[in-house]
Amino acid sequence: MFLVTPLLVLRLLARGVRSRPYHRRWPERFGFFDAPGFSGSLWVHAVSVGEVNAAEPMIKALRRDYPNAPLVITTVTPTGTARVQQLFGDSVFHVYLPYDLPYSVGRFLKKTRPRLALIVETEIWPNLYFACRRRGIPLMIVNARLSERSLRGYKPLRALLRSALRCVSLIAAQSRTDAARYRLLGADPQQLLVVGNMKFDMPIPHSAVADGATMREHWGPRRPVWIAASTHEGEELAVLEAHLQVLKRLPDALLLLAPRHPERFRVVEHAVRSLGFTVATRSIDRVPSSSHQVFVIDAMGQLMPFFAASDAAFVGGSLVPIGGHNVLEPAALSVPVLVGPHTFNFEEITDSLIHRGGAARVAGVDRLGPEMLALLLDADRRARMGQAAQQVFERERGAVQRIMQLIDAQLQE
């Protein structure tokens, strides 16, 4: 880790060129920050936005059940940091997780003094895990998942990761497949439990449906509307080409376009304008009017009302080999979902939705337009898919309650 630290710093510098927040709060990445002055904290690590969203119901349950315990939340990315601040404000203590260097990790643990560490999904840092074991800090991996791609990537380090995983008290896996992959990585079967996916327990804002209906009244209640959410570089052009195909048949259709990363908001807006679309943005126009063809959602954490206002959704990160993003937000609101071929980050959830008829997979970029147009033209199919998606979402809820029971038992022990 000492040898690769210069490469990590160079990567941080490079990321900062595209996103200035990466240049801020550097000392925290080496364990230097103002000591909060508490002990016996409950520490949750959620690497970025998706993991923070997944952990939200668990964090709220921790605040409810352990009101006197200081709560520490760590992230790695600025977008994850922004989401923590948006959801919890000053009610939690946020700091960046330091690089996996012994002294950096030691400083972090000395200042936060956790009584329990909760790692969300897939973050295996050997020095951190070894340090927790030396200090007698119980460590749990919650909502644990491990894609086939990650398993292959970890293969050269399997011996080291096996030793690290033996420092973990409990691994609460999302599915049997994830549990099996953790076993292949070296986890002890006695450590593993399958408890389900916390993302199914995400709170649905009561105002989302009402806000969505209000927006539809503003831009035209009968307009066909679809949303492309969490898109990445290489996907926006495909989405815009698909919208051109939709407009040929449905000239009043509206596309809501939400890029995944804030540093790309302006780039995407300029690309849309350069192709001749009439464009509005969230930051300037707030909501689109009846004259706009594309609305760029250049804001974080505000997708739920827009999902509620949409007839159909495409979830990004799936036309390019990113692995896909969370399909449950539209599913929870009974919105039919389209995804691309690359969904390994949400493998079981996506497959379950497709199997139950709540989602459909498009084979590639050239099929997004025809598939979305067919969906927008078929109200009965949209209703069937939306109902099926919502049923899958409701049936799978309950993981947070099971995880909280495990946390209670661990703390009592």
pLDDT per position as a tens digit, 365-389? 999 999 999 999 999 999 999 999 9
Do residues 77 and 49 touch, judged by C-beta distance below 8 A? yes
What is the sign of the dihedral through the CA atoms of 327, 312, 382 and 372?
Answer: negative
Using a cut of 0.75, tell me whether the model's pTM lies above it.
yes
pLDDT for 13: 81
Other beta carbons within 10 Å of 408: 12
Tell me which DSSP letter residue 202 carries: -
pLDDT in tens, 193-227: 999 999 999 888 888 999 999 999 988 889 999 99
pLDDT for 4: 87
Query: How many Cα atoms occupy the beta-carbon half-sphere of 256 within 13 Å?
Result: 32
Q: What are phi and psi of 158, to 5 degrees?
A: -60, -40
Q: Pairing mode, if any, of strands 359-361 and 279-281? A: unpaired
pLDDT for 274: 95
| Average pLDDT score over residue span 32-38 | 88
What is the SS3 assignment for 6? helix
| Average pLDDT score over residue span 41-53 | 95
Alpha-carbon distances of 297 from 79, 169, 195, rounded to whole Å: 15, 41, 34
Q: Residue 281: pLDDT above 90?
A: yes
Q: What are phi and psi of 278, to 5 degrees?
A: -80, 125
pLDDT above 70 as % of the chain: 99
Are both 18-196+398-412 and 207-395 of the same fold? Answer: yes
Considering the four listed CATH numbers 3.40.50.300, 3.40.50.11720, 3.40.50.740, 1.10.3720.10, the one that applies to the domain covering 18-196+398-412 is: 3.40.50.11720
pLDDT for 6: 87
> What rounded mean pLDDT belongs to the chain?
93
Residue spans of the domains in the chain: they are 18-196+398-412, 207-395
Q: Does 51 qualify as catalytic in the annotation?
A: yes
Distance CA 152, CA 189 (A): 20
Catalytic entry in 28, 51, 236, 347: 51
Distance CA 5, CA 10 (A): 9
Distance CA 341, CA 314 (A): 12
- Cβ neighbours of residue 400 under 8 Å, at least 6 residues apart? 57, 58, 61, 198, 201
pLDDT for 277: 97
- Cβ neighbours of residue 179 under 8 Å, at least 6 residues apart? 144, 171, 173, 192, 193, 194
Q: Which CATH class is domain 207-395?
A: alpha beta
